[in-house]
Amino acid sequence: MADIALIAKQFTDFYYATFDSAANRSNLVSLYRDSSMLTWEGEQHQGSATIVQKITSLPFNTVQHKVTTIDAQPSSPAIASLIVSVTGLLVVDDSTLALNFSQVFHLIPDGGSYYVFNDIFRLNYG
């Protein structure tokens, strides 16, 4: 299996750079499939079009993810899939207060790349 820490880092770098650019956020559609599921703050969305519609309709103009930790583990003995757990800070619009967030991705191999099968996002309060 390839270096999972490197794969996780490359994936999260690409994901958050794309997400943080409002003009490019819709390009995340290529990372999801019709079987993919996003749980955003407890609200479930299934399918690439529905997931990207949720991501592009979030109520902020600018966002910046500041990743603190990335942990990755293999998720199956049969295929080279990964579980990637990310924590960090989220700065939206012109706020001076950063919000703590956590996000978990389940990545499935697809050709020479990976797609997101599961994506769980939560703001961490308290």
The pTM of the full predicted model, rounded to 2 decimals, is: 0.94
24 pLDDT above the threshold of 60? yes
Spell out the domain ranges in the chain. 1-123
Pick the CATH number of 1-123 from 1.20.1530.20, 3.30.420.40, 3.10.450.50, 3.30.1490.20: 3.10.450.50
Spell out a b/e string for 107-126, using b for 16 or more CB atoms within 10 Å of the CB, else e: bbbeeeebbbbbbbbeeeee
- For the stretch 97-123, pLDDT in tens is 999 999 999 999 998 899 999 999 999
Phi, psi dihedrals of residue 41, rounded to the nearest 5°: 55, 40
- The span from the CA of 122 to the CA of 84, in Å, is 14
